[in-house]
């Protein structure tokens, strides 16, 4: 018999790389279950669900996408699920407070570019795109009651974030309990063999196993990955916290941000946020200790190359070395026309170098705005002929 799929050991080595359950027993159990599935020598049904809670993806969103990509590389059937119904509640897994509820209009606007951005990593032609409104939207109230009857309030309150809120006297709303059930129902509706998600979502994935088993399906194998910390090296990468690298950001911006990652989390970024071959990671770990700057540049190039190509990555590195390391002016500084009496603060906001006047003032207060190399104050005027630098990587030539 001719083998259709790659050797099981090879697949297992790659597919379990970076995977974390927060418990060694879970890793052993689920690793064995995945091995048995792979030994069936068939394309597995693997899904990842992402709630469209923002307009664009960050590098943090790509962590589970890369794992889905690895399954796709080995010929498995991959499903990208847009959680347009689960987003109405919002996943409480990583929150110690109530998530703001989005409207259906917010969700529709946010999801418009999600699959397009995800397709930078996934092969869109080989990816099944679904929305969980397809089945959750057709459930009737008796169906929801039957689903809720499979779980107890005690099970829900054993979750760390719910328990902490309960102990602190913070409100926990009943609709928040529904999220895990809705995500679990997704796994049943799609009849999947494997579900990819974040480590903080393991409770939701386990709920899916329970629902599948109760309905006579074989429980899927959860494959969970740690949260990618942001550029501060501490908190979760988030657009709202400003500690992110955006999938749709310019090459120079991505490169510069990657170079600001603290040394102690560079290895985590290689494992979770790049497609560097898994058999090279051990050697990369050794080299980070020997020459962290060299490896940080490799990290930055790897990130930019994936989204913009090798040429863009080389150009971004050359620009970084010129402007940040050698303190020279960039080769191509965007020019902007300014009139007499124009506030520099207004120009910075109008050109998108700060999202608001408040944020622009904060940049001045931090000493992050310079005119012709001299630190500028918030009341400075925009003078034609000057070169303005905002932060380390953004420039304007005033004309």
At which residue do the structure tokens 């129902």 appear? 185
* Residue 168's CATH number: 3.40.50.620
- Least trusted range by pLDDT, from 9-23, 113-127, 182-196: 113-127
Q: CATH code at 371?
A: 3.10.290.10
Question: Both 256 and 282 in a single domain?
Answer: yes
Average the pLDDT over 110-115 and give the result: 78
Domain match, 293 and 165 both: no
pLDDT the model gives residue 100: 62
Q: Which residue has the higher pLDDT, 328 or 179?
A: 179
What pLDDT score was predicted for residue 324? 80
* Whether 272 and 370 share a structural domain: no
Is residue 233 in some structural domain? no
Does 282 share its domain with 342?
Answer: no
* Domain-terminating residue out of 273, 307, 325: 325
Count of domains forming the chain = 3
* 195 alpha-carbon distance from chain centroid: 16
Question: Is position 175 within any domain?
Answer: yes
Please give the residue that has the higher pLDDT: either 126 or 171.
Answer: 126
Q: Indicate if 16 and 85 belong to the same structural domain.
A: yes
Tell whether 230 is covered by a domain.
Answer: no
- Flag whether pLDDT at 235 surpasses 60: yes
pLDDT of residue 44: 98
| Residue 48 pLDDT class (50, 70, 90 cuts) | very high
Verify that 52 and 153 share a domain, yes or no: yes
* Least trusted range by pLDDT, from 38-42, 234-238, 327-331, 367-371: 327-331
Same-domain status, 290 and 376: no
Query: Are residue 198 and residue 300 in the same domain, yes or no?
Result: no
Single residue among 300, 325, 350 that ends a domain in this structure: 325
Q: Label residue 96 by pLDDT band (50, 70, 90).
A: very low
From CA 219, how far away is CA 230, in angstroms rounded?
33
Q: Answer yes or no: is pLDDT of 353 > 70.
A: yes
pLDDT, one tens digit per residue, over 146-159 is 999 999 888 888 87
Q: Which tens digit of pLDDT belongs to each residue from 261-298?
A: 999 999 999 999 999 999 999 999 999 999 999 999 99
Mean pLDDT of 216-244: 91
Which CATH number do you get for residue 262? 1.10.240.10
pLDDT score recorded for residue 99: 55
Measured between alpha carbons, how far is 209 from 135 in angstroms, rounded to an integer? 18
State whether 189 and 208 are in the same domain.
yes
* Whether 22 and 55 share a structural domain: yes
- Domain assignment of residue 342, yes or no: yes
Q: Are residues 285 and 339 in the same domain?
A: no
Which of the two residues, 134 and 372, has the higher pLDDT score?
Answer: 134
Alpha helices per DSSP H over 309-383: 310-320, 344-350, 357-365
Mean per-residue pLDDT, 310-332: 84
Q: Which of 320, 280, 281, 275 is nearest to 297 (CA)?
A: 320
Buried-state track 357-382, b at ≥16 Cβ within 10 A, e below 16: eeebbebbeeebbbbeeeebeeebbb
| Least confident span in 36-50, 101-115, 180-194 | 101-115
Residue 2 pLDDT > 50? no
Residue 1's pLDDT is 36
**Residue 48 located in a structural domain:** yes
Q: Is residue 101 in a domain?
A: yes
The residue range of the domain holding 364 is 335-398
| Same domain (yes/no): 261, 218 | no
Mean pLDDT of all residues in the chain?
88
239 domain-assigned: no
Question: Which of 277, 305, 325 is a domain's end point?
Answer: 325
Tokens of 310: 């090798």
Q: Is residue 379 part of a domain?
A: yes
């Amino acid at each position: 018999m001719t083998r259709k799929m790659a050797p099981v050991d090879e697949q297992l080595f790659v597919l379990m790389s970076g995977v974390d359950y927060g418990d060694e027993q879970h890793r052993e159990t689920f690793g064995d279950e995945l091995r048995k599935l792979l030994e069936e020598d068939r394309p597995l049904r693997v899904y990842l669900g992402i709630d469209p809670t923002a307009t664009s993806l960050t590098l943090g969103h790509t962590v589970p996408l890369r794992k889905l990509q690895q399954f796709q590389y080995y010929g498995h059937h991959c499903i990208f699920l847009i959680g347009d119904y689960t987003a109405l509640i919002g996943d409480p897994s990583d929150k110690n407070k109530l998530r703001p509820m989005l409207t259906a209009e917010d969700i529709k606007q946010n999801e418009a570019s999600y699959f397009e951005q995800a397709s930078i990593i996934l092969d869109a032609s080989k990816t099944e795109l679904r929305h969980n409104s397809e089945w959750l939207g057709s459930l009737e109230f008796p169906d929801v009651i039957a689903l809720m009857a499979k779980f107890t309030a005690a099970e829900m309150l054993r979750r760390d974030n719910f328990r902490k809120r309960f102990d602190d006297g913070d409100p926990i709303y009943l609709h928040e309990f529904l999220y895990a059930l809705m995500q679990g129902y997704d796994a049943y509706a799609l009849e999947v063999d494997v579900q990819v998600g974040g480590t903080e979502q393991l409770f939701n994935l386990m709920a899916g196993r329970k629902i599948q088993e109760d309905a006579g399906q074989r429980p899927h194998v959860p494959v969970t990955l740690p949260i990618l910390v942001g550029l501060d090296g501490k908190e979760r990468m988030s657009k709202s916290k400003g500690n992110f690298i955006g999938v749709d950001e310019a090459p120079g911006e991505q490169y510069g941000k990657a170079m600001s990652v603290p040394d102690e989390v560079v290895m985590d970024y290689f494992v979770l946020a790049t497609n560097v071959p898994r058999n090279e990671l051990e050697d990369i770990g050794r080299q980070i200790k020997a020459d962290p700057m060299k490896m940080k540049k490799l990290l930055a190039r790897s990130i930019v190359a994936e989204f913009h190509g090798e040429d863009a990555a080389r150009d971004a590195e050359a620009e970084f070395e010129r402007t940040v390391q050698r303190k020279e002016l960039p080769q191509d500084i965007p020019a902007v026309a300014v009139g007499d009496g124009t506030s520099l603060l207004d120009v910075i906001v109008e050109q998108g170098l700060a999202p608001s006047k408040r944020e622009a003032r904060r940049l001045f207060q931090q000493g992050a705005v310079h005119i012709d190399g001299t630190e500028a104050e918030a009341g400075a005027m925009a003078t034609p002929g000057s070169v303005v630098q905002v932060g380390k990587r953004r420039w304007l030539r005033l004309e």
